[in-house]
Chain A
Amino acid sequence: MARSEPLTVLAVCGVGMGTSLILRMTAEGALSSLGVPAKVENTDVSTARGMTADVVIGQGMHVGELQDMAPVVLTVDDFLDQDGLASSLREALTTQGWI
Protein backbone atom coordinates (compact mmCIF):
# COMPACT_ATOMS: atom_id res chain seq x y z
CA MET A 1 0.00 0.00 0.00
CA ALA A 2 1.41 3.35 -0.99
CA ARG A 3 1.67 6.10 1.58
CA SER A 4 -0.69 9.02 1.33
CA GLU A 5 1.79 11.55 2.71
CA PRO A 6 5.06 12.53 1.05
CA LEU A 7 8.09 10.77 2.48
CA THR A 8 10.40 12.81 4.70
CA VAL A 9 14.02 12.14 3.79
CA LEU A 10 17.16 13.46 5.50
CA ALA A 11 20.51 13.67 3.73
CA VAL A 12 23.22 13.83 6.39
CA CYS A 13 26.89 14.79 6.37
CA GLY A 14 29.48 16.13 8.82
CA VAL A 15 28.56 19.79 8.74
CA GLY A 16 25.40 19.60 6.64
CA MET A 17 26.32 22.01 3.87
CA GLY A 18 28.41 20.44 1.12
CA THR A 19 28.12 16.73 0.50
CA SER A 20 24.68 16.43 2.09
CA LEU A 21 23.38 19.07 -0.30
CA ILE A 22 24.78 17.19 -3.29
CA LEU A 23 23.29 14.02 -1.83
CA ARG A 24 19.96 15.82 -1.43
CA MET A 25 19.94 16.69 -5.13
CA THR A 26 20.85 13.10 -6.05
CA ALA A 27 18.12 11.77 -3.73
CA GLU A 28 15.53 14.16 -5.16
CA GLY A 29 16.38 12.89 -8.62
CA ALA A 30 16.27 9.25 -7.50
CA LEU A 31 12.93 9.64 -5.72
CA SER A 32 11.34 11.43 -8.63
CA SER A 33 12.57 8.71 -10.98
CA LEU A 34 10.77 6.22 -8.69
CA GLY A 35 7.71 8.44 -8.69
CA VAL A 36 7.73 8.71 -4.89
CA PRO A 37 6.61 12.09 -3.57
CA ALA A 38 9.12 13.19 -0.96
CA LYS A 39 10.50 16.16 0.90
CA VAL A 40 14.29 15.92 1.12
CA GLU A 41 16.32 18.03 3.54
CA ASN A 42 20.05 18.17 4.20
CA THR A 43 21.61 18.60 7.62
CA ASP A 44 24.54 17.73 9.91
CA VAL A 45 24.81 14.78 12.28
CA SER A 46 24.06 16.70 15.49
CA THR A 47 20.98 18.38 14.09
CA ALA A 48 19.75 15.15 12.53
CA ARG A 49 19.57 13.56 15.98
CA GLY A 50 16.86 16.03 16.95
CA MET A 51 14.77 15.46 13.85
CA THR A 52 12.37 12.80 12.68
CA ALA A 53 12.39 11.28 9.25
CA ASP A 54 11.20 8.24 7.31
CA VAL A 55 14.51 7.79 5.54
CA VAL A 56 18.05 8.86 6.45
CA ILE A 57 20.79 8.81 3.82
CA GLY A 58 24.47 9.49 4.42
CA GLN A 59 28.02 8.24 4.51
CA GLY A 60 28.65 5.14 6.60
CA MET A 61 30.88 7.02 9.01
CA HIS A 62 28.00 9.33 9.92
CA VAL A 63 24.79 7.33 9.67
CA GLY A 64 26.41 4.63 11.81
CA GLU A 65 25.28 6.73 14.77
CA LEU A 66 21.82 7.40 13.36
CA GLN A 67 20.62 3.80 12.95
CA ASP A 68 17.72 4.20 15.38
CA MET A 69 16.31 7.49 14.23
CA ALA A 70 14.39 6.34 11.16
CA PRO A 71 12.81 3.13 9.85
CA VAL A 72 15.07 3.27 6.79
CA VAL A 73 18.76 4.22 7.06
CA LEU A 74 20.76 3.99 3.84
CA THR A 75 24.52 4.20 3.46
CA VAL A 76 25.92 5.90 0.39
CA ASP A 77 29.49 5.90 -0.88
CA ASP A 78 28.89 7.51 -4.23
CA PHE A 79 27.16 10.87 -3.90
CA LEU A 80 26.40 11.23 -7.59
CA ASP A 81 25.10 7.71 -8.28
CA GLN A 82 21.41 8.47 -8.78
CA ASP A 83 20.58 5.09 -10.31
CA GLY A 84 22.30 3.21 -7.51
CA LEU A 85 20.49 5.23 -4.87
CA ALA A 86 17.19 4.76 -6.70
CA SER A 87 17.53 0.99 -6.67
CA SER A 88 18.47 0.79 -2.99
CA LEU A 89 15.60 3.16 -2.18
CA ARG A 90 13.19 1.03 -4.19
CA GLU A 91 14.25 -2.06 -2.29
CA ALA A 92 14.05 -0.41 1.14
CA LEU A 93 10.72 1.31 0.49
CA THR A 94 9.23 -1.89 -0.86
CA THR A 95 10.33 -3.73 2.28
CA GLN A 96 8.57 -1.09 4.36
CA GLY A 97 5.47 -1.42 2.18
CA TRP A 98 5.63 2.25 1.23
CA ILE A 99 5.65 1.65 -2.52
Chain B
Amino acid sequence: MDAVQSVLVWIATNVFGQVAILIGLITLLGLILQRKPVEDVVAGALRAVLGIIILFVGVDLFTGGLADFQAIVSSAVGLDPPAAANTLDGFLGSHGGTVALIITVGFLIHMVLVAVFPAARYVYLTGHLMFWVSVVITACLVQVFGDLPQLTLVIVGSILIACYWTLQPMWIAPFMRKVTGRDEFALGHTTSVLALVTAVAARPLGDPEKHSTEKLKMPRQLSFFKDVNVSTALVIGLILIVSMLFADGSVVREAADNYEEGISEWTWGVIAAFRFAAGIAILLFGVRMFLGEIVPAFKGVSDKLVPGSRPALDIPTVFPMAPTAVMLGFVSSTAVFLALLGVFAGFGWFTLVPPMIMLFFGGGAGGVFGNAVAGWRGAVFGGALNGVLLAVGQAVTWSWLSDTAPELSTLADPDWYMIMAVLIGIGHLTGPLGGLGVWSVAVVFGLLTLVVLTWLSFFTPAKLAQRAETRSASEPTEDDAPPTERDGDTADKGEDSGTSRTE
Protein backbone atom coordinates (compact mmCIF):
# COMPACT_ATOMS: atom_id res chain seq x y z
CA MET B 1 0.00 0.00 0.00
CA ASP B 2 2.80 2.35 0.94
CA ALA B 3 4.43 1.79 -2.41
CA VAL B 4 1.19 2.61 -4.26
CA GLN B 5 0.71 5.70 -2.18
CA SER B 6 4.22 6.96 -2.74
CA VAL B 7 3.82 6.46 -6.50
CA LEU B 8 0.59 8.49 -6.37
CA VAL B 9 2.25 11.23 -4.35
CA TRP B 10 5.15 11.27 -6.81
CA ILE B 11 2.76 11.64 -9.74
CA ALA B 12 0.78 14.35 -7.95
CA THR B 13 3.94 16.34 -7.24
CA ASN B 14 5.84 15.78 -10.45
CA VAL B 15 3.10 15.60 -13.06
CA PHE B 16 -0.12 17.21 -11.84
CA GLY B 17 1.77 19.79 -9.81
CA GLN B 18 4.09 20.84 -12.64
CA VAL B 19 2.33 23.01 -15.18
CA ALA B 20 5.07 22.67 -17.82
CA ILE B 21 5.08 18.87 -17.70
CA LEU B 22 1.28 18.71 -17.61
CA ILE B 23 0.80 21.08 -20.54
CA GLY B 24 3.41 19.09 -22.46
CA LEU B 25 1.48 15.87 -21.88
CA ILE B 26 -1.89 17.45 -22.73
CA THR B 27 -0.40 18.83 -25.96
CA LEU B 28 1.15 15.46 -26.77
CA LEU B 29 -2.25 13.81 -26.36
CA GLY B 30 -3.95 16.53 -28.43
CA LEU B 31 -1.47 16.17 -31.29
CA ILE B 32 -1.73 12.38 -31.24
CA LEU B 33 -5.54 12.64 -31.35
CA GLN B 34 -5.19 14.87 -34.43
CA ARG B 35 -3.03 12.11 -35.97
CA LYS B 36 -0.16 14.44 -36.67
CA PRO B 37 3.08 12.91 -37.97
CA VAL B 38 5.45 11.86 -35.20
CA GLU B 39 7.93 14.72 -35.79
CA ASP B 40 5.11 17.26 -35.42
CA VAL B 41 3.90 15.56 -32.24
CA VAL B 42 7.32 15.67 -30.61
CA ALA B 43 8.15 19.22 -31.76
CA GLY B 44 4.70 20.50 -30.76
CA ALA B 45 4.86 19.03 -27.26
CA LEU B 46 8.37 20.44 -26.74
CA ARG B 47 7.26 23.88 -27.95
CA ALA B 48 4.35 23.83 -25.51
CA VAL B 49 6.65 22.99 -22.57
CA LEU B 50 9.08 25.69 -23.65
CA GLY B 51 6.19 28.14 -23.91
CA ILE B 52 5.27 27.57 -20.27
CA ILE B 53 8.87 27.99 -19.12
CA ILE B 54 9.09 31.26 -21.10
CA LEU B 55 5.78 32.39 -19.61
CA PHE B 56 7.24 31.98 -16.12
CA VAL B 57 10.33 34.01 -17.02
CA GLY B 58 8.06 36.78 -18.35
CA VAL B 59 5.83 36.74 -15.28
CA ASP B 60 8.90 37.01 -13.05
CA LEU B 61 10.19 40.04 -14.97
CA PHE B 62 6.71 41.59 -15.09
CA THR B 63 6.01 41.25 -11.35
CA GLY B 64 9.44 42.68 -10.50
CA GLY B 65 8.90 45.68 -12.76
CA LEU B 66 5.41 46.18 -11.36
CA ALA B 67 6.72 46.27 -7.78
CA ASP B 68 9.29 48.97 -8.65
CA PHE B 69 6.70 50.97 -10.60
CA GLN B 70 4.25 50.89 -7.71
CA ALA B 71 6.90 51.76 -5.12
CA ILE B 72 8.03 54.86 -7.02
CA VAL B 73 4.59 56.12 -8.07
CA SER B 74 3.35 55.54 -4.49
CA SER B 75 6.26 57.48 -3.08
CA ALA B 76 5.62 60.34 -5.52
CA VAL B 77 2.02 60.72 -4.35
CA GLY B 78 2.88 60.04 -0.71
CA LEU B 79 1.21 56.64 -0.29
CA ASP B 80 2.24 53.17 0.79
CA PRO B 81 2.64 50.84 -2.18
CA PRO B 82 -0.06 48.14 -2.35
CA ALA B 83 0.97 45.15 -0.30
CA ALA B 84 0.41 41.47 -1.00
CA ALA B 85 1.29 38.18 0.67
CA ASN B 86 1.83 36.31 -2.59
CA THR B 87 2.71 36.94 -6.24
CA LEU B 88 1.42 35.67 -9.57
CA ASP B 89 4.78 33.96 -10.03
CA GLY B 90 4.46 32.04 -6.78
CA PHE B 91 0.82 31.24 -7.41
CA LEU B 92 1.40 29.81 -10.88
CA GLY B 93 4.30 27.81 -9.47
CA SER B 94 2.09 26.16 -6.85
CA HIS B 95 -1.22 26.02 -8.73
CA GLY B 96 -0.24 26.04 -12.43
CA GLY B 97 -0.91 22.32 -12.75
CA THR B 98 -4.40 22.82 -11.36
CA VAL B 99 -5.00 25.58 -13.92
CA ALA B 100 -3.91 23.30 -16.78
CA LEU B 101 -6.30 20.58 -15.60
CA ILE B 102 -9.16 23.08 -15.22
CA ILE B 103 -8.69 24.21 -18.82
CA THR B 104 -8.75 20.65 -20.12
CA VAL B 105 -11.59 19.25 -18.01
CA GLY B 106 -13.53 22.53 -18.31
CA PHE B 107 -13.28 22.40 -22.10
CA LEU B 108 -14.67 18.85 -22.16
CA ILE B 109 -17.63 19.86 -19.93
CA HIS B 110 -18.16 22.89 -22.18
CA MET B 111 -18.21 20.55 -25.22
CA VAL B 112 -20.85 18.38 -23.57
CA LEU B 113 -23.02 21.43 -22.79
CA VAL B 114 -22.75 22.65 -26.40
CA ALA B 115 -23.52 19.17 -27.73
CA VAL B 116 -26.55 18.62 -25.47
CA PHE B 117 -28.27 22.02 -25.49
CA PRO B 118 -29.41 23.43 -28.84
CA ALA B 119 -29.29 27.00 -27.48
CA ALA B 120 -25.61 26.67 -26.56
CA ARG B 121 -24.04 26.53 -29.95
CA TYR B 122 -20.77 28.42 -29.55
CA VAL B 123 -17.45 26.74 -28.83
CA TYR B 124 -15.04 29.00 -26.92
CA LEU B 125 -11.68 29.11 -28.74
CA THR B 126 -9.92 32.22 -27.42
CA GLY B 127 -6.97 30.35 -26.00
CA HIS B 128 -5.12 32.98 -23.98
CA LEU B 129 -8.30 33.91 -22.15
CA MET B 130 -9.08 30.23 -21.55
CA PHE B 131 -5.77 30.21 -19.71
CA TRP B 132 -6.11 33.49 -17.82
CA VAL B 133 -9.72 33.11 -16.72
CA SER B 134 -8.84 29.65 -15.40
CA VAL B 135 -6.05 31.30 -13.40
CA VAL B 136 -8.52 33.91 -12.09
CA ILE B 137 -11.07 31.29 -11.03
CA THR B 138 -8.41 29.16 -9.32
CA ALA B 139 -7.01 32.22 -7.53
CA CYS B 140 -10.48 33.27 -6.32
CA LEU B 141 -11.28 29.78 -5.03
CA VAL B 142 -7.96 29.47 -3.19
CA GLN B 143 -8.27 33.00 -1.84
CA VAL B 144 -11.73 32.42 -0.40
CA PHE B 145 -11.70 28.75 0.56
CA GLY B 146 -8.04 28.28 1.41
CA ASP B 147 -5.82 25.62 -0.10
CA LEU B 148 -8.23 22.89 -1.12
CA PRO B 149 -7.27 19.46 -2.45
CA GLN B 150 -6.32 19.65 -6.13
CA LEU B 151 -9.17 17.33 -7.13
CA THR B 152 -11.74 19.64 -5.50
CA LEU B 153 -10.26 22.71 -7.16
CA VAL B 154 -10.22 21.00 -10.56
CA ILE B 155 -13.83 19.79 -10.37
CA VAL B 156 -15.26 23.06 -9.04
CA GLY B 157 -13.08 25.22 -11.29
CA SER B 158 -13.92 23.20 -14.42
CA ILE B 159 -17.65 23.48 -13.78
CA LEU B 160 -17.40 27.24 -13.25
CA ILE B 161 -15.24 27.87 -16.32
CA ALA B 162 -17.44 25.65 -18.51
CA CYS B 163 -20.50 27.67 -17.46
CA TYR B 164 -18.73 30.92 -18.33
CA TRP B 165 -17.42 29.66 -21.71
CA THR B 166 -20.90 28.42 -22.63
CA LEU B 167 -22.94 31.44 -21.52
CA GLN B 168 -20.61 34.35 -22.36
CA PRO B 169 -20.85 34.08 -26.18
CA MET B 170 -24.63 33.74 -25.79
CA TRP B 171 -25.26 36.93 -23.81
CA ILE B 172 -23.33 39.02 -26.31
CA ALA B 173 -24.64 37.21 -29.42
CA PRO B 174 -27.60 39.54 -30.22
CA PHE B 175 -25.22 42.51 -30.25
CA MET B 176 -22.56 40.60 -32.17
CA ARG B 177 -25.11 40.05 -34.92
CA LYS B 178 -25.75 43.78 -34.90
CA VAL B 179 -22.02 44.56 -35.22
CA THR B 180 -21.04 41.93 -37.77
CA GLY B 181 -24.37 41.39 -39.53
CA ARG B 182 -23.84 37.63 -39.46
CA ASP B 183 -23.93 34.68 -37.17
CA GLU B 184 -21.23 32.27 -38.21
CA PHE B 185 -18.91 33.12 -35.34
CA ALA B 186 -19.45 34.50 -31.86
CA LEU B 187 -17.45 36.68 -29.52
CA GLY B 188 -15.41 34.76 -26.95
CA HIS B 189 -13.68 37.48 -25.01
CA THR B 190 -13.51 38.86 -21.47
CA THR B 191 -14.60 42.32 -22.57
CA SER B 192 -18.11 40.93 -23.08
CA VAL B 193 -19.70 42.68 -20.09
CA LEU B 194 -18.29 46.01 -21.21
CA ALA B 195 -19.52 45.41 -24.77
CA LEU B 196 -22.96 44.45 -23.47
CA VAL B 197 -23.32 47.47 -21.20
CA THR B 198 -22.04 49.79 -23.94
CA ALA B 199 -24.42 48.38 -26.54
CA VAL B 200 -27.35 48.98 -24.19
CA ALA B 201 -26.37 52.22 -22.46
CA ALA B 202 -24.90 54.10 -25.44
CA ARG B 203 -28.04 53.73 -27.54
CA PRO B 204 -29.58 57.17 -26.80
CA LEU B 205 -26.31 58.98 -27.57
CA GLY B 206 -26.57 59.09 -31.32
CA ASP B 207 -27.48 57.49 -34.59
CA PRO B 208 -25.33 54.61 -35.89
CA GLU B 209 -25.78 55.66 -39.53
CA LYS B 210 -25.55 59.42 -39.25
CA HIS B 211 -22.76 59.53 -36.66
CA SER B 212 -20.77 56.49 -37.81
CA THR B 213 -17.12 56.60 -36.77
CA GLU B 214 -16.12 55.33 -40.19
CA LYS B 215 -16.97 58.74 -41.64
CA LEU B 216 -14.25 60.26 -39.43
CA LYS B 217 -10.57 60.41 -40.17
CA MET B 218 -8.14 59.63 -37.36
CA PRO B 219 -4.66 61.19 -37.32
CA ARG B 220 -2.04 58.81 -38.68
CA GLN B 221 0.31 59.58 -35.78
CA LEU B 222 -1.89 57.53 -33.50
CA SER B 223 -1.19 54.39 -35.45
CA PHE B 224 1.99 53.39 -33.63
CA PHE B 225 -0.03 53.06 -30.43
CA LYS B 226 -1.69 50.00 -31.93
CA ASP B 227 1.54 48.16 -31.20
CA VAL B 228 0.89 47.44 -27.53
CA ASN B 229 4.56 46.71 -26.88
CA VAL B 230 5.44 50.23 -27.96
CA SER B 231 2.58 51.94 -26.13
CA THR B 232 3.29 50.03 -22.89
CA ALA B 233 6.96 51.07 -22.87
CA LEU B 234 6.08 54.67 -23.73
CA VAL B 235 3.23 55.23 -21.27
CA ILE B 236 4.82 53.34 -18.37
CA GLY B 237 8.11 55.18 -19.06
CA LEU B 238 6.47 58.62 -19.02
CA ILE B 239 4.60 57.96 -15.79
CA LEU B 240 7.69 56.47 -14.15
CA ILE B 241 9.98 59.36 -15.12
CA VAL B 242 7.46 61.98 -14.00
CA SER B 243 6.92 60.11 -10.71
CA MET B 244 10.69 59.97 -10.13
CA LEU B 245 10.72 63.77 -10.09
CA PHE B 246 8.43 63.75 -7.07
CA ALA B 247 9.40 60.48 -5.37
CA ASP B 248 11.55 60.07 -2.29
CA GLY B 249 15.17 59.95 -3.54
CA SER B 250 16.06 56.97 -1.38
CA VAL B 251 13.25 54.85 -2.84
CA VAL B 252 14.45 55.53 -6.38
CA ARG B 253 18.11 54.99 -5.41
CA GLU B 254 17.33 51.65 -3.83
CA ALA B 255 15.44 50.42 -6.90
CA ALA B 256 18.27 51.57 -9.17
CA ASP B 257 20.92 49.95 -6.96
CA ASN B 258 19.00 46.69 -6.95
CA TYR B 259 19.33 46.70 -10.71
CA GLU B 260 22.97 47.83 -10.86
CA GLU B 261 25.16 49.56 -8.26
CA GLY B 262 26.05 53.11 -9.24
CA ILE B 263 23.79 53.37 -12.31
CA SER B 264 22.21 56.80 -12.85
CA GLU B 265 18.66 56.86 -11.54
CA TRP B 266 17.37 58.29 -14.81
CA THR B 267 19.08 55.63 -16.89
CA TRP B 268 17.55 53.07 -14.59
CA GLY B 269 14.10 54.66 -15.00
CA VAL B 270 14.28 54.37 -18.78
CA ILE B 271 15.56 50.80 -18.63
CA ALA B 272 12.96 49.84 -16.01
CA ALA B 273 10.10 50.98 -18.24
CA PHE B 274 11.43 48.90 -21.11
CA ARG B 275 12.01 45.90 -18.85
CA PHE B 276 8.40 46.13 -17.72
CA ALA B 277 7.19 46.15 -21.33
CA ALA B 278 9.65 43.36 -22.14
CA GLY B 279 8.28 41.29 -19.27
CA ILE B 280 4.79 41.52 -20.72
CA ALA B 281 6.08 40.76 -24.23
CA ILE B 282 7.92 37.66 -22.99
CA LEU B 283 4.91 36.53 -20.98
CA LEU B 284 2.73 36.84 -24.08
CA PHE B 285 5.31 35.08 -26.23
CA GLY B 286 5.26 32.13 -23.85
CA VAL B 287 1.47 31.98 -23.88
CA ARG B 288 1.52 32.17 -27.69
CA MET B 289 3.91 29.22 -27.92
CA PHE B 290 1.79 26.76 -26.01
CA LEU B 291 -1.52 28.04 -27.37
CA GLY B 292 -0.28 27.56 -30.93
CA GLU B 293 -0.17 23.83 -30.19
CA ILE B 294 -3.19 23.43 -27.92
CA VAL B 295 -5.91 25.55 -29.55
CA PRO B 296 -5.84 23.70 -32.91
CA ALA B 297 -6.19 20.46 -30.94
CA PHE B 298 -9.17 21.85 -29.03
CA LYS B 299 -10.70 23.00 -32.32
CA GLY B 300 -10.15 19.54 -33.80
CA VAL B 301 -11.88 17.93 -30.82
CA SER B 302 -14.85 20.32 -30.96
CA ASP B 303 -15.28 19.89 -34.74
CA LYS B 304 -15.49 16.14 -34.20
CA LEU B 305 -17.63 16.12 -31.06
CA VAL B 306 -20.05 18.91 -32.00
CA PRO B 307 -20.26 19.17 -35.77
CA GLY B 308 -22.00 22.36 -36.86
CA SER B 309 -21.03 24.33 -33.76
CA ARG B 310 -19.72 27.83 -34.27
CA PRO B 311 -16.50 29.20 -32.81
CA ALA B 312 -16.41 32.01 -30.24
CA LEU B 313 -13.38 34.10 -31.17
CA ASP B 314 -11.08 36.85 -29.93
CA ILE B 315 -12.26 40.49 -29.98
CA PRO B 316 -10.12 41.71 -32.95
CA THR B 317 -12.37 39.64 -35.22
CA VAL B 318 -14.87 42.52 -34.96
CA PHE B 319 -12.28 45.27 -35.45
CA PRO B 320 -12.44 45.27 -39.28
CA MET B 321 -16.12 46.27 -39.01
CA ALA B 322 -15.10 49.71 -37.67
CA PRO B 323 -11.33 50.37 -37.45
CA THR B 324 -11.82 54.05 -36.63
CA ALA B 325 -14.14 53.16 -33.77
CA VAL B 326 -11.36 50.93 -32.41
CA MET B 327 -8.88 53.82 -32.35
CA LEU B 328 -11.47 56.21 -30.91
CA GLY B 329 -12.37 53.75 -28.15
CA PHE B 330 -8.70 53.11 -27.40
CA VAL B 331 -7.89 56.81 -27.13
CA SER B 332 -10.88 57.56 -24.92
CA SER B 333 -10.27 54.56 -22.64
CA THR B 334 -6.60 55.50 -22.20
CA ALA B 335 -7.41 59.17 -21.54
CA VAL B 336 -10.05 58.30 -18.96
CA PHE B 337 -7.78 55.77 -17.26
CA LEU B 338 -4.90 58.24 -17.00
CA ALA B 339 -7.22 60.94 -15.67
CA LEU B 340 -8.52 58.53 -13.02
CA LEU B 341 -4.95 57.59 -12.15
CA GLY B 342 -4.43 61.23 -11.16
CA VAL B 343 -7.75 61.53 -9.36
CA PHE B 344 -7.26 58.31 -7.37
CA ALA B 345 -3.75 59.34 -6.38
CA GLY B 346 -5.19 62.66 -5.17
CA PHE B 347 -7.57 60.77 -2.92
CA GLY B 348 -4.74 58.54 -1.75
CA TRP B 349 -6.35 55.33 -2.92
CA PHE B 350 -4.11 53.18 -5.00
CA THR B 351 -1.24 53.12 -7.42
CA LEU B 352 -2.75 52.16 -10.73
CA VAL B 353 -0.81 50.69 -13.64
CA PRO B 354 -1.97 51.63 -17.13
CA PRO B 355 -2.65 48.21 -18.71
CA MET B 356 -2.10 49.21 -22.34
CA ILE B 357 -3.18 45.86 -23.75
CA MET B 358 -6.51 45.93 -21.94
CA LEU B 359 -6.97 49.61 -22.72
CA PHE B 360 -6.47 48.85 -26.40
CA PHE B 361 -8.59 45.73 -26.75
CA GLY B 362 -11.27 46.74 -24.24
CA GLY B 363 -11.32 50.27 -25.62
CA GLY B 364 -11.59 48.81 -29.12
CA ALA B 365 -14.48 46.59 -28.02
CA GLY B 366 -16.27 49.53 -26.41
CA GLY B 367 -15.62 51.55 -29.55
CA VAL B 368 -17.00 48.99 -31.99
CA PHE B 369 -20.08 48.10 -29.95
CA GLY B 370 -20.76 51.73 -29.06
CA ASN B 371 -20.45 52.75 -32.70
CA ALA B 372 -22.85 50.00 -33.76
CA VAL B 373 -25.67 51.49 -31.66
CA ALA B 374 -24.83 55.21 -31.54
CA GLY B 375 -21.98 56.18 -33.85
CA TRP B 376 -18.90 58.04 -32.65
CA ARG B 377 -20.44 59.23 -29.40
CA GLY B 378 -21.19 55.63 -28.54
CA ALA B 379 -17.60 54.68 -29.41
CA VAL B 380 -16.20 57.37 -27.12
CA PHE B 381 -18.62 56.30 -24.40
CA GLY B 382 -17.66 52.62 -24.70
CA GLY B 383 -13.96 53.44 -24.52
CA ALA B 384 -14.44 55.74 -21.55
CA LEU B 385 -16.49 53.11 -19.76
CA ASN B 386 -13.64 50.63 -20.28
CA GLY B 387 -11.21 53.14 -18.73
CA VAL B 388 -13.48 53.57 -15.71
CA LEU B 389 -14.01 49.81 -15.24
CA LEU B 390 -10.28 49.06 -15.48
CA ALA B 391 -9.31 51.85 -13.07
CA VAL B 392 -11.97 51.04 -10.49
CA GLY B 393 -11.40 47.33 -11.00
CA GLN B 394 -7.68 47.60 -10.26
CA ALA B 395 -8.24 49.83 -7.24
CA VAL B 396 -10.83 47.49 -5.74
CA THR B 397 -9.62 43.99 -6.59
CA TRP B 398 -5.88 44.11 -5.81
CA SER B 399 -6.48 43.46 -2.13
CA TRP B 400 -9.08 40.77 -2.85
CA LEU B 401 -6.40 38.49 -4.24
CA SER B 402 -3.56 39.52 -1.97
CA ASP B 403 -2.96 35.96 -0.70
CA THR B 404 -2.87 34.44 -4.17
CA ALA B 405 -2.06 36.46 -7.30
CA PRO B 406 -2.85 40.19 -6.90
CA GLU B 407 -1.09 41.04 -10.18
CA LEU B 408 -4.08 39.51 -11.96
CA SER B 409 -5.98 42.69 -11.17
CA THR B 410 -3.54 44.66 -13.38
CA LEU B 411 -3.89 42.21 -16.29
CA ALA B 412 -7.66 42.09 -16.16
CA ASP B 413 -10.54 42.82 -18.52
CA PRO B 414 -14.00 43.81 -17.21
CA ASP B 415 -15.24 40.18 -17.15
CA TRP B 416 -12.35 39.21 -14.86
CA TYR B 417 -13.51 41.77 -12.33
CA MET B 418 -17.05 40.49 -12.62
CA ILE B 419 -15.89 36.91 -12.02
CA MET B 420 -13.76 38.01 -9.06
CA ALA B 421 -16.64 39.97 -7.55
CA VAL B 422 -19.12 37.13 -7.96
CA LEU B 423 -16.86 34.33 -6.73
CA ILE B 424 -15.36 36.23 -3.82
CA GLY B 425 -18.76 37.63 -2.84
CA ILE B 426 -20.40 34.22 -2.90
CA GLY B 427 -17.39 32.71 -1.18
CA HIS B 428 -17.89 35.03 1.76
CA LEU B 429 -21.60 34.20 1.88
CA THR B 430 -20.98 30.46 1.87
CA GLY B 431 -18.07 30.69 4.28
CA PRO B 432 -20.16 29.44 7.24
CA LEU B 433 -20.84 26.20 5.34
CA GLY B 434 -17.23 25.17 5.93
CA GLY B 435 -15.96 22.47 3.58
CA LEU B 436 -19.28 22.43 1.73
CA GLY B 437 -18.89 26.08 0.72
CA VAL B 438 -16.76 25.50 -2.33
CA TRP B 439 -19.04 22.73 -3.58
CA SER B 440 -22.09 24.91 -3.14
CA VAL B 441 -20.57 27.47 -5.53
CA ALA B 442 -20.17 24.82 -8.22
CA VAL B 443 -23.66 23.43 -7.61
CA VAL B 444 -25.30 26.87 -7.71
CA PHE B 445 -23.62 27.97 -10.94
CA GLY B 446 -23.87 24.55 -12.56
CA LEU B 447 -27.61 24.33 -11.87
CA LEU B 448 -28.23 27.93 -12.86
CA THR B 449 -26.50 27.33 -16.19
CA LEU B 450 -28.44 24.12 -16.78
CA VAL B 451 -31.73 25.88 -16.04
CA VAL B 452 -30.94 28.78 -18.38
CA LEU B 453 -29.80 26.46 -21.16
CA THR B 454 -32.80 24.15 -20.74
CA TRP B 455 -35.20 27.07 -20.77
CA LEU B 456 -33.59 28.66 -23.83
CA SER B 457 -33.32 25.36 -25.66
CA PHE B 458 -36.66 23.76 -24.99
CA PHE B 459 -39.17 26.12 -23.41
CA THR B 460 -38.87 29.47 -25.15
CA PRO B 461 -41.35 30.54 -27.82
CA ALA B 462 -41.34 28.84 -31.17
CA LYS B 463 -38.97 31.31 -32.77
CA LEU B 464 -36.07 30.48 -30.51
CA ALA B 465 -36.68 26.77 -30.64
CA GLN B 466 -36.83 26.96 -34.38
CA ARG B 467 -33.57 28.85 -34.47
CA ALA B 468 -31.99 26.16 -32.36
CA GLU B 469 -33.19 23.43 -34.70
CA THR B 470 -31.73 25.15 -37.71
CA ARG B 471 -28.28 24.97 -36.15
CA SER B 472 -27.29 21.79 -37.90
CA ALA B 473 -29.74 22.26 -40.75
CA SER B 474 -29.61 24.95 -43.41
CA GLU B 475 -30.02 28.56 -42.41
CA PRO B 476 -30.91 30.67 -39.36
CA THR B 477 -34.34 32.25 -39.28
CA GLU B 478 -33.77 35.38 -37.20
CA ASP B 479 -35.02 38.70 -38.47
CA ASP B 480 -31.48 39.96 -38.65
CA ALA B 481 -30.33 36.73 -40.24
CA PRO B 482 -27.03 36.72 -42.09
CA PRO B 483 -26.89 36.12 -45.83
CA THR B 484 -28.00 32.61 -46.58
CA GLU B 485 -24.79 31.26 -48.06
CA ARG B 486 -23.02 31.59 -44.72
CA ASP B 487 -23.95 28.24 -43.25
CA GLY B 488 -22.98 26.42 -46.38
CA ASP B 489 -19.66 28.24 -46.12
CA THR B 490 -18.85 26.96 -42.67
CA ALA B 491 -19.70 23.41 -43.54
CA ASP B 492 -17.48 23.53 -46.61
CA LYS B 493 -14.59 24.83 -44.56
CA GLY B 494 -14.86 21.94 -42.19
CA GLU B 495 -14.39 19.49 -45.02
CA ASP B 496 -11.57 21.45 -46.58
CA SER B 497 -9.57 21.50 -43.41
CA GLY B 498 -9.83 17.76 -43.23
CA THR B 499 -12.05 17.48 -40.20
CA SER B 500 -14.75 14.88 -40.54
CA ARG B 501 -18.23 16.28 -40.32
CA THR B 502 -21.30 14.21 -40.09
CA GLU B 503 -24.14 16.61 -40.71
Contact = CB atoms under 8 A, between A and B. Distances in A.
Q: Is this pair of chains taken from one and the same complex?
A: yes
A29 B291 CA distance: 18
A44 B223 CA distance: 15
Interface in B310-366: 311, 313-317, 319-320, 323, 326, 357, 360-361
Given A42-B288, A64-B223, A80-B311, A22 B497 contact: no
A13 interface: yes
Nearest to A80: B185
SS of A interface (majority) = helix
Contact of B497 (A18, A25, A81): A25
A17 B319 contact: no
A62 B226 contact: yes
Contacts of B125: 22
Interface in A14-40: 14-19, 21-22, 24-26, 28-30, 32-33
A59 B313 contact: no
Contact of A45 (B226, B319, B490): B226
Interface string B285-308: 101100110011001000000000
B204 interface: no
Contacts of B403: none
A82 to B, nearest CB: 5
B492 interface: yes
A60 B139 CA distance: 38
A86 B130 CA distance: 29
A66 to B, nearest CB: 11
A59 B323 CA distance: 10
A46 B497 contact: no
Interface in B458-497: 489-490, 492-493, 496-497
A2 interface: no
Contact of A14 (B228, B489, B498): B228
Contacts of B227: 14, 44-46, 65
A83 B493 contact: yes
A18 B311 contact: no
* Interface hub of A14, A43, A59, A82 (most chain B Cβ within 10 A): A14
A91 B134 CA distance: 43
B281 A33 contact: no
B126 interface: yes
Interface string A57-93: 0011110110000000000011111110000000000
A46 B230 contact: yes
B399 interface: no
A78 B314 CA distance: 13
B253 interface: no
Cβ-closest 3 pairs across A and B: A18-B314, A29-B497, A77-B320
25 contacts: A13-B316, A15-B128, A15-B284, A15-B357, A17-B127, A18-B128, A18-B314, A19-B313, A21-B127, A21-B288, A22-B317, A29-B496, A32-B498, A42-B288, A44-B229, A46-B229, A59-B319, A60-B323, A61-B226, A79-B313, A80-B184, A80-B493, A81-B489, A82-B492, A82-B496
Given A14-B226, A82-B492, 15 more contacts: A14-B316, A14-B361, A15-B361, A17-B314, A18-B129, A18-B314, A21-B292, A25-B497, A41-B292, A42-B292, A59-B320, A61-B319, A65-B227, A80-B185, A80-B313
